[in-house]
Amino acid sequence: SIKMDLLHSNGVLIIQHLQRDYRAYQDFLNFMSHVGDPRNIFSFYFPLWFQLNQVVGTKMIWVAVIGDWFNLIFKWILFGHRPYWWVHETVIYPNQSSPCLEQFPITCETGPGSPSGHAMGSSCVWYVMVTAALSYTVRWKEKSAITLHRLTWSLLWIIFWIIQISVCISRVFIATHFPHQVILGVFAGILVAEAFEHTPAIQTASLRMYIKTNLFLFIFALGFYVVLKLLNIDLLWSVPKAKKWCANPDWINIDTTPFAGLVRNLGAFFGLGIGINSEMFITSCKGKNSCKISFRVLCIAASLATLQLYNFVKIPTHTEYLFYILSFCKSAAMPLTVVALVPYCVHTLMRTTDKKCN
């Protein structure tokens, strides 16, 4: 439609302006793209917060998984183009004078572009973190430290918006998103996170509840995919476009296909369900240890170190089904490590050292 063409061509002008005038900030913007990567939630933010506050840690995974699931469904409904292929496919530029957009190793995402998954994942998780941090400062209101409360409130929200805007600019700079797609992503992420501020039930969810939710998310997404396929709508329409217009074939990553993200999230969700309902978790985190600062610090350090090792586990990408199965298992192992395995090992170690001291 004419309106969309106008929106896209204006978006291209903004991308060109960023690539031309903010060239010097390229490293910082690439770094911000990594900060916004939804995968960091599982390998960095979650292990940190879960030991500080289990309620926040648990909420973070729920928000990340449900948010990313909504992102997938929206992408399938909205059919959003990505700038790096749109400039070559559109007919609005006269006699083949399509604008030149530079591509980077992280440009060639293969899924549809709207709304931005990075912007959505980043805003929903940071929203959870900021509101969690602010819930600690609510007590200051009573203790007449109201100025301090206001200062903290302002500072945290300023940090929140600086991070969101930087992530958005970085995604537009690398030509993987149009500006309207990242803005949509940020607000969609905030909505999802806000919805979870009012659902205390997730804290007491049983393993059955986790499995049921997982099955629902999987069956709904798969059903949606199949129904549209029967209507002759191919939801993987964006993959050939990505392969065709990506400047370097090596930059195409199977990790960014729509189903890869879904499988990764369902795996993480399943791992959290098993972990939180396991004997290991109850023995190590629910007892006297939960009050010990040393226990928590050790758990955070050990979890972060162990999860870095998972980055070295490379999943073979030549067979798609095998890739999905292994991706599910690897993702499930991450929260399981943070919630059950690491705390249990730390707990056992601390118990043996206590016995020796006594």
Q: Which residues are marked as active site?
A: 118, 177
**What is the 8-class DSSP label of residue 174?**
T
Alpha-carbon distance 198 to 201, whole Å?
Answer: 9
Alpha-carbon distance 218 to 324, whole Å?
Answer: 13
Give me the sign of the Cα torsion angle 251, 257, 72, 77: positive
Alpha-carbon distance 115 to 117, whole Å?
Answer: 6
Q: Which of 201, 332, 329 is nearest to 275 (CA)?
A: 332
State which amino acid sits at residue 230. L
First to last CA, the chain: 77
**What is the 8-class DSSP label of residue 43?**
I
Cβ of 17: how many Cβ atoms within 10 Å? 12
Contacts of 230 (CB under 8 A, 6+ apart): none
State which amino acid sits at residue 104. F
Number of alpha carbons in the 13 Å side-chain half-sphere of residue 76: 24
Check the annotation: does 171 bind a ligand: yes
Tokens of 342: 């690491």
Alpha-carbon distance 64 to 34, whole Å?
Answer: 16
Tokens of 39: 């995968």
Q: Tell me the binding residues.
A: 82, 171
Q: Tell me the binding residues for substrate.
A: 82, 171
